[in-house]
Amino acid sequence: MPQLDLDRYVPFFLSSIGNKLSRGASRIYLARFGIGVNEWRLLANLKVRGTASAGAICEASGIDKAAASRATGRLQALGLVQAVPDRADARSRALSLTPAGEAMHDAIIRIALDRERALLAGLDAAERDQLIALLGKLYANVDRLDRDS
């Protein structure tokens, strides 16, 4: 029977890195800002998109729908996100940042970018570009895997 070589099994590396990054970010964001990494992901997505449904954010970032729903509720309770009925789909609500949500995003983004710089330390610009290109290909392959299964 085959056995995984965890030193060469890419899904193990990706999930381990993602888990460690999320756990560390959540610890920092909770301590400093009172929100976790799922709330941060929603804030970051809304900053980029302007408005979006929770479903669209889940689809783009791979956040579990239940976790996104809890994060959305928490952000609304904190006054960081507002929801309005979506004109295109009456059953859906479009989320957007409030001024307080914009301010929270702007405070956290500095830490997030510092963490990214630390993660990528030792890689030159060409290696970073190559890594991003390769990750983009993996991202596309995951979508294909989900469609094909």
Q: Which residue has tokens 């307080």?
A: 100
| pTM (global) more than 0.75 | yes
pLDDT tens column, 65-107? 898 889 999 999 999 999 988 777 777 788 999 999 999 999 9
Asked whether residue 95 is assigned to any structural domain, the reply reads yes
For the stretch 103-142, pLDDT in tens is 999 999 999 999 999 999 999 999 999 999 999 999 889 8
Q: Does 142 map to a domain?
A: no
Buried b / exposed e across 100-115, counting CB within 10 Å, b at 16+?
A: ebeebbeebeeebeee
- Tell me whether residue 133 is in a domain: no
Domain of residue 45, CATH code: 1.10.10.10
Rounded CA-CA distance 146/85 in Å is: 30
CB 61 within 8 A of CB 22: no
Q: What is the tally of structural domains in the chain?
A: 1
